[in-house]
A and B are shown apart, each in its own frame.
Chain A
Amino acid sequence: MSGLSALFYKELLRFWKVVVQTVVAPVVTALLYLLIFSHVLEAHVEVYPGVSYTSFLVPGLVMMSMLQNAFSNSSSSLIQSKMMGSIVFVLLPPLSYLEFFLAYLGASILRGLVVGLGVLAVTLWFAPLPMPHLGWLLAYALLACGIMGALGILAGVWAEKFDQLAAFQNFLILPLTFLSGVFYSIHSLPAFWQSVSHANPVFYLIDGFRYAFVGQSDTDPLLGLLVASTCFVAISAITLVLLRSGYKLRH
């Protein structure tokens, strides 16, 4: 076992030991969203011709759950071990900053994917989902979890208190995911808010992911992939630079 795989394994074991909280709970939450919103809106809203509202909603919910849980995994693991002091067990061994990054990132991606699969498994019975583009589906799922996993590392390293992390989560991650077209198409918005939505990278993740499920989207999925990749590279680069400098961890 290399140091990297040991840290990856430890991070997996950590969320697996509290699977009710880390996997079951978000799946149940997504299911509740589905039941409520599709009950209220199914008869009134048709976003794309020939696509029911529930078929529209499911990919958005799967993506939203992946995003939030990938972020939670790395950020809460880091803040907890910082608050508990047990972060020293990771800082004392000969692990490089890159190994540190990859292990937390990998575990976050896996948690995101597991939750995503769970949400899909309980929601796919409610509406037809043709999934014509599996390649896009996988690419978007991985990139989305990657972006949020990396952002979670950044937030977890930066935050010194649970409070600060909660602020990051509630004032940045949550609005970005909710205001990104999970529950509606941005074409239903006034022109101004449509252009604002285009500045939200999460919008492209949800839009492209939905394209993989129903074959229709607001923007070109290739553009979305480009935006997502750029975001992933940028956030990872910032995080790696901070980790290499020892920012807040080794000072």
Chain B
Amino acid sequence: MSQAIPAIRVSALHKQFRQTRALDGVSLEVRQGEFFGLLGPNGAGKTTLISILAGLTRADSGHAAIMGHDVVRDYRQSRRALGVVPQELVYDPFFNVRETLRIQSGFFGLKHNEAWVDEIMHHLDLTQHADKNTQSLSGGMKRRLLVAQALVHKPPVIVLDEPTAGVDVDLRRSLWAFISRLNREGHTILLTTHYLEEAEALCGRIAMLKAGRIVALDETKNLLKLTNEHCAQFRLDKESIPEIWQSRVVHGGDGSWRFNFSEYSDLEAVLADLRGAGVRVLEMRLQEPDLEDVFTDIMKRA
């Protein structure tokens, strides 16, 4: 497949649910091999967008295609190219793990998929639970099974809708290691998450949605440049701040002080004035701007 064909392409998508405008003209392209983040507050339209890509919802207008296949007209090809890990922790209580994966393979027309099913179970630590009924799995295991189900047909494009919501640290780490490996092997990943540090660490590009519109779309490193709000946290030997800084150096709780700044020269000035006033800095920590600041900023302005 030519690299020129985008893994995901949506153009001018609109979707209205009764009074709510879920998507209001969303267009974007995700290139093959990208790790792409879709961020936004609850109700921004992320899940609606994913549902349209997966054929679970039909758009009122606009087009969506996976690997060049229109999700409505060529739904068989587009669904074969797409693996979706849904947000809800859903499972079919009638079957065990292996049966679930075998049946899911069958839905995609795959007859002899045992070797791959074994491999996915191995990577997701499901092998020892293969014969357990899905109902008896823990939440984390159910989540792994959902990931496994999305991968039975080796889709080139994988969509993860908040895969780490309510998941413990170990699973989160192993999940990301596995997903990153899939990405390195050439799979395109579309991720929605509320954990912005995850998106920052993993996604090469990020789109931010608000009220059904894209309000930011850029490479993660460019988005991070949008804000230059650094933060310094001090612990001082005296409770006295020079008067001119009193509006900007504020109590940070637990006896520390916070100072937000964009230029390092400001920090230098504060330190100089503190020294001049005879106040000693006992401890200082610097915080670099992160995606959360950018996100908060963009959402406020949009």
Contacts and interface: CB of A to CB of B under 8 A. Distances in A.
Contacts of A90: 107
A14 B77 CA distance: 28
Interface string B42-65: 000000000000111110000000
A6 interface: yes
B238 interface: no
From A2, A7, A90, A92, name the one whose CB has the most chain B CB atoms within 10 angstroms: A92
7 contacts: A6-B103, A7-B106, A7-B107, A9-B106, A86-B91, A91-B55, A250-B56
Interface residues of A, number: 28
A6 B107 contact: yes
Given A92-B56, A93-B79, A246-B58, A3 B93 contact: no
Contact of A89 (B58, B80, B104): B104
Nearest to B99: A13
Contacts, number: 82
Contacts of A3: 106-109
Interface in A78-107: 81, 84-86, 88-96
Given A1-B106, A1-B109, 20 more contacts: A2-B109, A3-B106, A6-B103, A6-B109, A9-B103, A10-B106, A13-B99, A17-B95, A18-B94, A84-B92, A85-B90, A88-B56, A89-B104, A89-B107, A92-B54, A92-B55, A92-B82, A93-B153, A94-B108, A96-B76
B86 interface: yes
Interface in B197-243: none
Interface string A1-27: 111011101100110011000000000
B84 interface: yes
Interface of A: 1-3, 5-7, 9-10, 13-14, 17-18, 81, 84-86, 88-96, 246, 250-251
A91 B56 contact: yes
A139 B76 CA distance: 35
A84 B107 contact: no
B149 interface: yes
B75 interface: yes
A88 B86 contact: yes
B107 A93 contact: yes
A84 to B, nearest CB: 6
A9 B88 CA distance: 25
